């Protein structure tokens, strides 16, 4: 239960309208309005949510080296595709386009032939961000607008964790969490699952919840990976996010895997600061891999961000510090950013990289040359 007077009035008005008109709504619907309601949702409003002045730091905020070494992996993909004249790179959930911009800069600097082939498209729902200068980007609002039969790579970086999720609780039987109102308070109520797809998902993974267990089910992530696979004629889908393989994802945890971010602090109270704080959930990578196979996507590799970045040469980006002048300070800052990206116990372990391929034979990629954990999926 939580008072609702500390949230965005636009978002609160819409949630209250829905509950009063049709009764309790699923947490997934609640989360969808909170994050994506036009102009008032967390991801659709005109305000800073990333970086030092936002609520959390993304990998590209921490260090542009992330985009630089990612370009090396993309160059290898282009080579495996026999260097097509047009290599389509689609970044979904591109935000300000910082990652795509770094990829373009690096391609121009290191791989001029790849740069000439690169056709970059960004997908972003926030209309304010889509209006920003995007250099060579072709801009779209949804992935459904991307032309079919593309050759290249679709990449998502910290995207799937932001998809609205169903919350399920095993209490005598499998029940779903709904959101209702008690005066001016949000309350949780339980009822039957809102869609048979939830039961089908758990059955296909062979998962049985323990009594009292609470878990998030991200059906939209499954739809997303299948849509991405359908777009590709030949190429790759790269998913970078925090999460687990199923055998770890479904371990009992007191409050599941739901996390909220506000001003670089973490909490587990999604009914607070509605519309003003982020709500995310970890990704089930086993589910992604299983549903991806339905559209002929094969797992290329699965590993931690730490091992992936080592494989694509992130340590080569470290700079020697000879003197503590302005250049030396810049090098220290650069090296510290690299350290944060690969830190074991931090982002290096929490973030995973899952790559699929379609329409070509792939024996491996540099990103998986240190460790490949795809057998745990």
Query: Cβ neighbours of residue 68 under 8 Å, at least 6 residues apart?
Result: 102, 106, 317
Helix 65-80 and helix 326-342: axis angle, to 10°?
60
How far is it, in rounded angstroms, from Cα 366 to Cα 316? 14
Tokens of 54: 């936002």
Q: What is the pLDDT of residue 1?
A: 43
Detail the DSSP E strand segments found in the chain: 2-3, 25-26, 87-92, 118-123, 138-140, 150-157, 166-171, 173-182, 185-191, 214-217, 232-244, 258-262, 265-267, 278-281, 283-284, 298-304, 351-358
Among 354, 363, 376, smallest CA distance to 154 is for 354
Round to whole Å and give the CA distance between 364 and 341.
23
Dmax of the chain from CA atoms?
A: 67
Q: How far apart are CA 357 and CA 365, in angstroms?
A: 11
Q: Are strands 298-304 and 351-358 parallel, antiparallel or unpaired?
A: antiparallel
Q: pLDDT below 70 — which residues of the chain?
A: 1-5, 49-56, 130-135, 319-328
- Residue ranges per domain, the chain? 2-376
For domain 2-376, give the fold. Answer: Rossmann fold (3.40.50)
CB 152 within 8 A of CB 237: no
Predicted local confidence at residue 135, as pLDDT: 59
Residues contacting residue 268 through CB under 8 Å, at least 6 positions apart: 255, 258, 259, 260
Q: For 52, which DSSP code?
A: T
pTM of the model: 0.94
At residue 306, the pLDDT reads 94
């Amino acid at each position: 239960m939580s008072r609702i007077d500390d949230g965005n009035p636009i978002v609160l008005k819409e949630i209250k309208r829905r509950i009063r008109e049709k009764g309790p709504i699923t947490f997934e619907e609640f989360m969808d309005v909170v994050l994506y309601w036009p102009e008032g949702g967390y991801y659709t409003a005109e305000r800073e949510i990333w970086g030092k002045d936002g609520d959390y730091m993304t990998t590209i905020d921490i260090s542009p080296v992330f985009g630089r070494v990612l370009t090396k992996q993309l160059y290898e993909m282009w080579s495996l595709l026999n260097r097509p004249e047009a290599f389509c790179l689609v970044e979904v959930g591109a935000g300000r386009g910082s990652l795509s911009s770094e990829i373009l800069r690096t391609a121009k600097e290191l791989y001029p032939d790849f740069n000439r082939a690169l056709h970059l498209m960004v997908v972003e729902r926030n209309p304010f961000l889509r209006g920003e200068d995007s250099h060579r980007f072709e801009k779209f609002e949804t992935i459904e607008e991307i032309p079919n039969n593309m050759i290249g790579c679709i990449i998502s970086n910290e995207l799937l964790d932001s998809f609205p999720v169903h919350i399920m609780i095993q209490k005598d039987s499998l029940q779903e969490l709904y959101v209702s109102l008690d005066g001016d308070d949000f309350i949780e109520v339980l009822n039957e699952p809102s869609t048979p797809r939830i039961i089908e998902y758990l059955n296909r993974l062979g998962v049985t919840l323990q009594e009292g267990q609470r878990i998030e089910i991200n059906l939209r992530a499954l739809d997303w990976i299948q849509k991405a696979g359908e777009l590709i004629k030949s190429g790759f889908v790269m998913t970078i996010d925090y999460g687990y393989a199923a055998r770890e994802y479904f371990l009992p945890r007191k409050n599941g895997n739901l996390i909220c971010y506000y001003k670089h602090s973490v909490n587990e109270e999604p009914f607070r600061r509605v519309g003003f704080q982020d709500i995310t959930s970890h990704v089930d990578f086993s589910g992604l891999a299983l549903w991806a196979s339905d559209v002929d996507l094969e797992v290329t590799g699965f590993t931690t961000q730490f091992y992936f970045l080592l494989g694509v040469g992130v340590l080569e980006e470290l700079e020697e510090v000879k003197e503590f002048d302005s250049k030396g300070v810049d090098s220290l800052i650069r090296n510290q950013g690299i350290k944060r990206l690969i830190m074991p116990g931090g982002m290096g372990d929490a973030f995973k990289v899952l790559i699929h391929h379609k329409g070509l034979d792939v024996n491996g990629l540099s990103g998986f040359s240190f460790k490949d954990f795809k057998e745990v999926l």
